[in-house]
Structure 1
Amino acid sequence: MNNMNAIAWLLPIIFMIHDFEEIIFIKVWRKRYEHYLDNCTMKKKPYADFRSPDEFSIGVEILFVILSIISLFSVFFNNYYVWYGFLFTVIAHFVILHCKICLDFKHYVPGIVTAILFLPITIYIMYTATILLNFTAIEILLSCAGGAVFTFIIFGILKKSEKHFESFLIKYSNGQN
């Protein structure tokens, strides 16, 4: 892998494969682990704010489009600062969210399998990109910090929009849209 244009497209691909695991398993996982979730003493229970797979899928679609646009613009303009920052946040997401929650919960949590599988791959992609892009330490730091800030903003907006997603789906199912 020595071509940044090809490497850039791995970001939305890895993200989507990872989120497929979550989309497919969250509903049945909640049913299977209902007893554990009810008796869980964790401060924030895994997927406690999850309402429906349909609603979750809309958020995933929006994130996929954003990551695809980031990859497209990175390739088109040969500028990978934003892409690099978002790759960093995907790695942080795997470690901080999925690995930590799975260890705290002490059971399977949707997303952990692909997080574990993709963690070494994404670290290798970031290592390779760092070499190919020849980023300085300051560029790496600013890119990663910027990616983290943008990710928190995007997740915040999506979180606030979830109830609108659900009401849209309900209206649509009732023939109102």
Structure 2
Amino acid sequence: MKYFVVPGESRHLDQATRAELRGDFIECGDGITHYEMAGPEGGEVVVFAGSLTTPLFYWDQLVGELHSRGFRTVTFSAYGRGYSDRVAAAYDEALFVRQIAELTQRLDLAEPFHLVGASMGALVAMAFHIVSPCGHMVPYEEPARTSLLFTAFVDTARKESSR
């Protein structure tokens, strides 16, 4: 499976290597985060937090569906995953919550945004919600928009299962 680290990996994550890769890189407090922000300008923002072993491209099919529905997306690789830095810190909830907070601040996501997590990313998303000001989360009081977001998940899953 291509998502796992390969023994003997020799590629160094320096500026020259990063220039050859897709996406963008941003310095956060604990290290460099690999991310992609895409979709229609002005669209509601959906931030994705991946699971224990998944880099940002895990979400590629879903974000394409969301872009077609007018959403703007931010995907990123957590520290130690994908092309984000392997930081010298405890890989705990606080680290990953801090990474989301710093990434969204540095990207100037001042408006409320949707935060979606898979597996460990869901736990990090819930922890982020506890410590984040309420203004940074889209309230569920907007069922029409939430429904549109949910149907994109369902439609992507259907397309995958029909392959």
Point out the structure with max Rg over C-alpha. Answer: 1
The two structures have a TM-score, normalised by structure 1, of 0.27
Higher normalized strand content (fraction of residues): 2
Give the TM-score of the pair, scaled to structure 2.
0.29
